[in-house]
Structure 1
């Protein structure tokens, strides 16, 4: 059966990709069929491919990256010849794109893919913000007094929300020059870097697999770091959650991959080994007006400074 979605129906070049291995659409390809793939990816992944690639109808690096992420999330892999997805649009990929477009663009796969992207984007932004904060503190610490204390005061004001979130979540001082805060900040940045270094390793298991192994009912997600890829399972409740909660669940589960657990927190050492603590630091520093966890728990008392 030829491609059915309004976006792809009747396109001879894309229909060839559906049935002929020699007609895969690959990086460097050119034509209106490439633009249709780009627009489909923008719809399904909620991304924006650079205008230069779209205007020139060219399958450039950004398009290739988008295809690769799309295929990794959906496990579109020819295991007979490869262990990871590639960045070409072949039979299974064009069929998957067409099916999702035909379904209206909102599927479990698209929800998972968008959540994964938002997790990576928010974590990158917060990591970069904290690296900048760390640099400002390091510079201030090298100044002679009274400039050192004056500059620390400026940091406390300009990074008021950052300092309060770090202090409350990590159970350390909110003073920029405090040794405990600086040590915890360094450790937090390191954990975020480890999280970001993880490959795409997530799968929708619904109510089966790891989703069935958790006592007390089906969770949002479940992770076993020692399992073969994919190591993170998202479960049925994940797909009825809010966009922000789905994003933060991915961030949380990826912290399990780097050794963080789920436990109570009463000191900084416990905070730095708790997945929820670091994931919520990301959420509260990315969403600058947030006053409660994305699951509705732990309201900020007193309210955090915004933004």
Structure 2
């Protein structure tokens, strides 16, 4: 666990050279990385979503591709396409933007639902199927997507199946005044991303993910995770509760959080701390709750507070 925490601390420190005053957001991004999940950054324009994505990608010496999602983007631009080669008289596969260790999907909800669906297979199964041929994606593989709030003009809400594939959703938020002043200094003359050097590589990240996967989860903690997600399915305030995939993601993220705190076992507190980022984006409020003005975060917090916490240390 010391190795995991030490490398994670290096990544966090490196990213925080670019992202001022957002240590909690950077911590969440590293948790998702080590849990082998995908990260959704949702917030208004200009708060550093893409900068955070690029800083995390540059901190790892691996293949990185950025896809700018626009209304005219095609599914084949993401997955790839078979092109006929006249000299060989055969079709050749040209890989799309998703063939990389870290894929940055900028403003994902500005593309049409048809194009968004091109990510479904690769995010869930880490493979791409084109013309009945399946291509495996390299490990590690992580999609970091940014999106603007759906109320903004020119955006398409992500379908439930797409949102459920993201392990966590995080909002960057506005910086505090001191951090914004520091940003004016550090970003004034040069782009701090230009001087950012990798602090680890893809092979080491894969090894660390294997270590994180071995973190112990007791039976009591497993029951607590299931109780949390089951309670969302039974709530009258929610039209759509957490899926079994959400339960799995919650436990995976809790393992990574435990490892970053140098523990080889998960505590109920790990699950409780991750309820909002891991579960909230998967929920849909009922019509009555929406009319009453209840936010999903508020409903989820009330549900989690009512689920009994087991007394366990390992």
Which structure dedicates a bigger proportion of its chain to helix? 1
TM range (shorter): under 0.3
TM-score using structure 2 length:
0.26
Q: Which has the larger radius of gyration?
A: 1
Q: Which has the higher contact order (CA 8 A, sep 6+)?
A: 2
Which structure dedicates a bigger proportion of its chain to strand? 2
